Amino acid sequence: MRNLGHIFRDIRMDKGYSLKDIADGILSVSFLSKFERGDSDISLSKFYLLLERLNITFDEFSFISNDYNPTQVETLMKNVRNAYENNNINLLYKLEQEEIYKWKKYNFSSHRYNSIMISALAYDLNKQLELYQEDITLLNEYLFKVENWGFYEIMLFGNSMSILPIESIITFSKEILNKTQLYSRVKKNKEKLIRVLLNTIVYCIESNRPSSALHFIISAEKILERHSDLYFEKVKLLYLSGIYKIISGNSDVGIVMSNRAIKIMDALGDINAVNNHEIYLRKKIVFSNTANPN
């Protein structure tokens, strides 16, 4: 990775700003010049102010400083997502073993947690795979220990739900708003958070916990009220709210709500989502009719 000062200088010059343009009111021109040459370090607070003056986000700067490549975690998750979406358990196993190898080689705990997350996704595809209680316990302990969840912890929890007991899912999901408060203004964290809550609602419905499902529906609604751009999440919540109505005995209203969401998915051309959600809706209607016969 190149020196941060050199990268900053390249961006500044590419945007046509002078040293004085960027330094004014933040630090001296001479100090900024030393930073750009790599002769001086700079505090994080000052660095963020300089990035704002340069009209560039920290994520953009990190991307450039990594030679326009995604981070290791981003690359891992892209590969994991592709394997999961294509039901490629062999590739998931390969990625899991690579993370275990890195953990043993570098003794860095995140690689261990990554391997558990990948095994959880594989288990979600094939419930015949073996689970290790040691892994579940280790994951639980880590998530309980971390007070302030960033994107990594939200991702880790969201992708590992299939191996956690419903009690842990409900507990973590109830705490997640408090645990993520420190990073609540980070957009991608908020998007990941709401998707975790949506998954929690599904797990509550499948575990016959309607009161818990309602709790998270209300929590998700409050978040989405403040984020008008999260269209997918709003459609998914409408669908799940309909499913909740169905399993709670209000089938007529629930079916209308869920079908409305499916029609939106259809209008957007997401055929796979339409088919999957129609199948799940029919299953819940049949279950509701069986559980509550006329």
- Residue 58 falls inside a structural domain: yes
> Does residue 61 share a domain with residue 35?
yes
pLDDT(70) > 80: no
pLDDT for res 177: 80
- Residue 92 falls inside a structural domain: yes
> Does residue 53 share a domain with residue 20?
yes
Cβ pair 223, 197 in contact under 8 A? yes
Here the tokens at position 187 are 């957009």
Number of domains comprising the chain: 2
- pLDDT confidence band for 90 (50 / 70 / 90): very high
> Does residue 10 share a domain with residue 58?
yes
Domain of 83? 79-130
Say if residue 105 is exposed, middle or buried (CB neighbours under 10 Å; 0-12, 13-18, 19+): exposed
Q: Averaged over 243-254, what is the pLDDT?
A: 95
Here the tokens at position 163 are 């191996």
pLDDT(136) > 80: yes
pLDDT for res 191: 87
Alpha-carbon separation of residue 178 from 148, 184, 247, 292 (angstroms): 8, 9, 29, 38
- Residue 256 falls inside a structural domain: no
- Residue 294 falls inside a structural domain: no
pLDDT for res 2: 66
CATH number of the domain at 58, please: 1.10.260.40
- pLDDT confidence band for 265 (50 / 70 / 90): very high
> Does residue 45 share a domain with residue 97?
no
- pLDDT confidence band for 124 (50 / 70 / 90): very high
> Does residue 84 share a domain with residue 52?
no
Cβ pair 237, 267 in contact under 8 A? no
- Residue 229 falls inside a structural domain: no
